[in-house]
Amino acid sequence: MPIYQTSTFRFKDTEHGAACFAGETDDFIYTRINNPTVRELEQTLAMLEKGEECICTSSGMGAVNVVFFGLLSRGKHVICHETVYGPSRSVLEAHYTRFGVDVSFVDTSNVLDVEAAIKDNTALVYLESPANPTVTVSDIPAICKVAKDKGVLVCVDNTFLGPCLQTPLDFGADIVINSLTKGINGHADVVAGCLVTKTKELACHLRPIMITLGACLDPNSAFLTRRGLKTMALRIERAQDSAARLAAYLEQHPKVEWIRYPGLESHPQHEVCKRIMKGPGTMMSFGLKGGMEAGRRLLDSVKLCTLAVSLGGVETLIQHPASMTHAKLSPEARLKGGVTPDLIRFSVGIEDVEEIMSDLAQALDKV
């Protein structure tokens, strides 16, 4: 698919132009509205996520805000997992509440908590599974059933796993979100996002919002993301195999206090993981016995692993959420959601697993 690096498209005549704007044809008008390169990526992602339609956005947060802006308004209520990507929670707390949206943050890994939080005006249940950065897993099918019984829509951020390892729409979710920046593109050279809907009607409601907000994906980024898709399955398979070995290594290490990885039997929701996930993924979190100071020493001592935010790329990344990605949350919100001061988030890449393990070993020796 070529890069249609153009902002506007020529009409055949005035009648054609009028038909395009009247919605009588699906031809191209303006790249903020639609673009051939972007559309091809959207069709591919909709197929992979087993949805009807996909809307690509300029970032993962672009997708999140299209969903929130499209489904929430004054007097509406949203239930959100208490631990999600920092900006996803911050935008609800700091901005949507300003416009009269009622927000409840609950532990969505407990289905009963979700059910108890539903009100007459609840419009949306929004969750990440696995959650960022705690790697908490929610029972998506059970949550969808509870929500559907009450007529509430469910949106799942699938970024930690992607369509290779989990397809939430199969479990009853209405919308699935991915930060294309992460595992789908996988090369740390694109910022992009998408949302895939279960129905065309929902996509028809949300697409004009993306257009109006100006959250469109540019054609070059769409082309690069499509390139990343070609190796997605191979990259994830390699990184996931390495992650399983590294998680087992860390679980047995005397300086590691705790670890949370879906592939370990010690994961609190391990049985749910086996039931709804096609694989444990490449993400884990852990804490050291020396607490936050020990974690800082580890992070400052790694050489092959890169101290950086983001995840899901070819490089192994490691970071400290409490002072980085989730720093804007209040200390109380972080602790309630499990983002403890000692938590280290670890995204395994495709480097040689023995070299990653050696790097962790030498850094742990300095703790």
The per-residue DSSP string of 127-187 comes to: EESSPTTT-----HHHHHHHHHHTT-EEEEE-TTT-TTT--GGGGT-SEEEEETTTTTT-S
Instruction: Name the DSSP class of 212.
Output: H
Q: Is residue 206 exposed (0-12), middle (13-18) or buried (19+ Cβ within 10 Å)?
A: buried
Q: Is 149 assigned a catalytic role?
A: no
Question: Quick one: pLDDT at residue 247?
Answer: 98
Q: How many CB atoms lie within 10 A of CB 363?
A: 19
Q: Which of 30, 32, 145, 227 is catalytic?
A: 32
> Are 84 and 108 within 8 A, CB to CB?
no
The CATH number of 14-229 is which of 3.30.1360.170, 3.40.640.10, 3.40.50.2300, 3.40.30.10? 3.40.640.10
Question: Quick one: pLDDT at residue 295?
Answer: 92
Q: Is 32 assigned a catalytic role?
A: yes
Question: Quick one: pLDDT at residue 330?
Answer: 84
Question: Quick one: pLDDT at residue 333?
Answer: 82
Q: pLDDT averaged over consecutive 10-residue blocks of the chain (367 residues)?
A: 96 96 94 97 98 98 98 98 93 96 97 98 98 96 98 98 98 98 97 98 98 97 97 98 98 97 97 97 96 93 96 96 85 85 95 98 96
Q: What is the distance between the alpha carbons of residues 185 and 49, in angstroms, rounded to a whole number? A: 15
Instruction: For domain 232-365, say whether CATH 3.90.1150.10 is its number.
Output: yes
Q: What's the one-letter identity of residue 353?
A: V
Beta strand 344-347 with 317-319: parallel, antiparallel or unpaired?
antiparallel
Q: Where in the chain is the domain with CATH 3.40.640.10?
A: 14-229
Question: Quick one: pLDDT at residue 45?
Answer: 98
Question: Quick one: pLDDT at residue 324?
Answer: 84
Q: Is 30 assigned a catalytic role?
A: no
Q: What is the distance between the alpha carbons of residues 45 and 53, in angstroms, rounded to a whole number? A: 8
Q: What's the one-letter identity of residue 285?
A: S
Please state the separation of Cα 96 from the chain's center in Å. 20
Integer CA distances (angstroms), 329 to 85, 99, 323, 346, in order: 10, 20, 10, 20
Q: Prior bond to 133 cis, omega within 30?
A: yes
Q: What is the distance between the alpha carbons of residues 365 and 367, in angstroms, rounded to a whole number? A: 6
Beta bridge mates, 53: 197
Q: Which of 76, 89, 182, 334 is catalytic?
A: 182
Q: What is the pLDDT of residues 145-156, one digit of tens each?
A: 999 999 999 999
Q: Which of 4, 76, 85, 238 is catalytic?
A: 85
Question: Quick one: pLDDT at residue 331?
Answer: 87
Q: Which of 157, 218, 342, 359 is catalytic?
A: 157
Q: Where in the chain is the domain with CATH 3.90.1150.10?
A: 232-365
